Amino acid sequence: MMIVMKEGATEEQIAAVVERVEAAGAHADVSRGELVTVVGAIGDREHVQNLGLEGAPGVDHLVPILKPYKLASEQYKRGERTVVEVDGRKIGGSHFATIAGPCTVESREVMLEAARAVRDAGAQLLRGGAYKPRTSPYSFQGLGDAGLKLLAEAKEDTGLPIVTELLDVRDLDAVAQVADVIQLGARNMQNYTLLTEAGRTGKPVLLKRGLSATLEELLMAAEYVLKEGNPNVLLCERGIRTFETGYRFTLDIMAVPVLRELTHLPVIVDPSHAAGKRSLVEPLSLAAAAAGADGIIVEIHPCPEDAVCDGPQALVADQFADYLRRVEAVAELAGKQLETV
């Protein structure tokens, strides 16, 4: 339920509404606009249904939030779009952001070379997994703590903020020390403990859509992070399972404009994991930009044939800048402004 205060409602009146909401067992989320303040009463239906705030001092009117996700809903921000800021780089709204780097941190040399290619091409953030969710328990699982140290070094070297995956709540402190954005992978989209704990760090969270998750399930997962008072959530479409076997996943390009109708949160596209194949990465990136994505997260490697994982889908690092110019040109056509930090 959204409690829209009157223009000129006093701080005391707002505080009284917050107190009533909390006394009813709901969470009160206060958002102050230029003219009016809105108090979101977030909680179970029975907690918010009988608040009895109609006609209370300073209250203008009440608007129910119809979707099961509340803080994530477009309605909640009344048309305003969330812009997540990471070290001065903006993602969302009119800003198009590029996140790039190797699939996994595999060595100091590769990490630094990839990081410099990302920086030189003018991308905004550096990705790389220190903890990897692998289908086979016999596959390389990531360098772990040593990988986090290499990410910290790459950040120091290039100045690029780091996006890295948190797989397990036991690694939260170590990952949060290095990550500027905590990635929660497709396989963990509904790991509610992880969502809550990542939310509590207050760090931006890049939340990837589960392999078979609906958009509503994705938004409900985002709600877990938002509910912790962390507004910095980036949603990521990375391909879903369909009946088609001709390629690895089906990039659900329609999710981009649909999510932009359902939510104010930025929508990022990962063409690399959807495709699994280098030749498909650029066309999917162009499609994502054209569909109105707020950014892309893409894998690059100095020498993909030697990559420890996901080499076949990695863009060659020294071709990355040219690729990026083409993607940015489409993003501009779609009305985005390019980040220059």
> Which residues have a Cβ under 8 Å from the Cβ of 145 and sit 6 or more positions away?
130, 174
| Closest among 311, 341, 37 to 159, alpha carbons compared | 341
Nearer to ligand PEP, 77 or 208 (CB): 208
Nearer to Mn ion, 86 or 297 (CB): 297
* CA 70 to each of CA 15, 65, 266: distance values in angstroms, whole numbers, following the listed order: 21, 6, 16
The partner in contact with residue 101, picked from Mn ion, ligand PEP, none with C-beta cut-offs of 5 to 8 angstroms by kind, is: none
Q: Phi then psi for 163, rounded to 5 degrees?
A: -110, 120
**Nearest residue relative to ligand PEP (C-beta):** 185
- Residue 185 near ligand PEP by CB under 6 A: yes
Nearer to ligand PEP, 60 or 217 (CB): 217
- Residue 206 near ligand PEP by CB under 6 A: no
Nearer to ligand PEP, 133 or 292 (CB): 133
Binding mask 117-156 for ligand PEP (x = CB under 6 A): ------------x---x-----------------------
Q: Is 305 helix (H, G, I), strand (E, B) or coil?
A: helix
Closest contact distance (angstroms) between CB of 304 and Mn ion is 11
Residue among 39, 72, 99, 103 that touches Mn ion (CB under 5 A): 103
> Which residues have a Cβ under 8 Å from the Cβ of 197 and sit 6 or more positions away?
169, 172
Beta strands (DSSP E) in the chain are 2-5, 27-32, 37-42, 59-63, 84-86, 89-91, 95-101, 125-127, 162-165, 181-184, 205-208, 233-237, 267-269, 295-301, 315-316, 337-338
Binding range to ligand PEP, per CB under 6 A, among 69-77, 81-89, 183-191, 251-259: 183-191
The partner in contact with residue 264, picked from ligand PEP, Mn ion, none with C-beta cut-offs of 5 to 8 angstroms by kind, is: none
Two tokens, residue 213: 């998750």
> Would you tell me how many other CB atoms lie within 10 Å of the CB of residue 25?
12
How is residue 188 annotated by DSSP? G
Binding mask 204-243 for Mn ion (x = CB under 5 A): ----------------------------------------
Place of tokens 């120091």: 156
> Which residues have a Cβ under 8 Å from the Cβ of 19 and sit 6 or more positions away?
none
* CA 87 to each of CA 160, 161, 180, 234: distance values in angstroms, whole numbers, following the listed order: 9, 7, 8, 15
Nearer to Mn ion, 102 or 231 (CB): 102
Closest contact distance (angstroms) between CB of 185 and ligand PEP is 3
Closest contact distance (angstroms) between CB of 238 and ligand PEP is 4
Nearer to ligand PEP, 38 or 189 (CB): 189
d(CA 54, CA 197): 36
Using CB under 6 A, which residues numbered 92 to 111 contact ligand PEP? 103
- Residue 208 near ligand PEP by CB under 6 A: yes
Using an 8 Å Cβ cutoff, are 99 and 127 in contact?
yes
The partner in contact with residue 186, picked from ligand PEP, Mn ion, none with C-beta cut-offs of 5 to 8 angstroms by kind, is: ligand PEP
Using CB under 6 A, which residues numbered 273 to 302 contact ligand PEP? 273
Closest contact distance (angstroms) between CB of 313 and Mn ion is 7
Using CB under 6 A, which residues numbered 34 to 93 contact ligand PEP? none
Contact set with Mn ion (CB under 5 A): 103, 310
Contact set with ligand PEP (CB under 6 A): 103, 129, 133, 165, 185-187, 208, 238, 270, 273
